A and B are shown apart, each in its own frame.
Chain A
Amino acid sequence: DAGVIQSPRHEVTEMGQEVTLRCKPISGHDYLFWYRQTMMRGLELLIYFNNNVPIDDSGMPEDRFSAKMPNASFSTLKIQPSEPRDSAVYFCASSSPYRGYGYTFGSGTRLTVV
């Protein structure tokens, strides 16, 4: 089991550029979650999917953020255009009802927008 895999680990981009973060959940997990972590706000849930369908996107800060899950093994979080206030660590996590809904987190993507 390779765990939840996120890429890239670090991303530095200029304000206004498009940023795409990627996540591969654990095989067989049918829930996928995107979180953002900052010192000021802690961990915030942005959006989550069940069986590739977005269920709750109420945490997505604004229209500049979008997320997709085209299949069970891949999800993307896109920010377009990026702004300095988007700088944070973005985590992906997956879970399964067959594993008691325990979450497994990826290592995160540290995004810096300059």
Chain B
Amino acid sequence: KQEVTQIPAALSVPEGENLVLNCSFTDSAIYNLQWFRQDPGKGLTSLLLIQSSQREQTSGRLNASLDKSSGRSTLYIAASQPGDSATYLCAVKDRSYNTDKLIFGTGTRLQVFP
């Protein structure tokens, strides 16, 4: 059974720092991995989608890497800003014939202070 873990659970940093959020999964047979952002009281916004054949994806100040063999993904946030404060969730889609669902981690709650 696939399990997804995110470390740390919470992070508080001053503005301007470069950050790394970690996501690990137990079964390397994944179809893709997706990073989401959730603001308090809001829905989930997709940030980056990495297919199993890819090693990384970039969008602006965000870079996500994927290492299937070690069961890890990292989300790198460059030059953090207070507007980056949110909960970040990673989720994997198993490469399975009988399921199409995403399995979510518990999230990292990020606070960036001025």
Contacts and interface: CB of A to CB of B under 8 A. Distances in A.
Contacts of A103: 34, 44, 46, 91, 102
Interface in A50-107: 50, 55-56, 91, 93, 95, 100-107
B25 interface: no
* Chain B interface bracket (under 10, 10 to 19, 20 to 34, 35 or more): 20 to 34
Interface residues of A, number: 22
B43 A102 contact: no
- Prevailing SS type, chain B contact patch: strand
- Closest 10 A/B residue pairs (Cβ): A102-B49, A105-B44, A107-B43, A43-B104, A108-B43, A105-B43, A45-B101, A101-B93, A100-B51, A42-B106
Interface of B: 31-32, 34, 36, 41-46, 49, 51, 89, 91, 93, 99-102, 104, 106-107
